[in-house]
Structure 1
Amino acid sequence: MDMMGWYGGGMAGGTWVFMGLFWVVLIAVIIWLVVRLLPSGNHGSSASHPTPPAPSAPLPMPRADSPLEILDRRLALGEIDLETYQAHRAAIIASRGGVQ
């Protein structure tokens, strides 16, 4: 009795190669999808996310508004009425010794 015929001939050698390639391609596609869909630090090329150049000189600090400029802006925006504006302006000028 021939034991090789027990499996009904089995799969041919080429079928094993195609089945192996199928699984390799399937696993590669799954890994690629996981890498693309999960957030990461830098999964794109450097051309798609250019880094800004370092400044050659330090940027100037923004100038702080004076109390009178803040008061003027609040009046212009309608946050305070004219009477409040005039009272606060007089108080600021008085606190500076009458100098604007």
Structure 2
Amino acid sequence: MGTVMYGDGGGWVWMVFMPLLWIVLIGLVVWAVIRLTQSASGGRYGGDGREHRESPEEILDRRYASGEIDTDAYTEARERLAAHRPRPR
């Protein structure tokens, strides 16, 4: 009679492993969301996980596009950058 009422005594296994299963599952979902949002938005990191540093030209282009500098300042800065850029051999 005791076996029918209480099962075979293996219920404690589910009581231990179900919370662990949920913790692992939630952790995987959080990790996947963070990973996908970083790569989808470009983030600060490239595809290989290293931090992407803007080149001087990229910074200049971004500032011009946002209206921080006018066309004359942009053109002058572009010319200066081109003059100081190392020449390939």
Normalised by the size of structure 2, how large is the TM-score? 0.43
Greater share of residues in helix: 2
**Which of the pair has more CA radius of gyration?**
1
TM-score by length of 1: 0.39
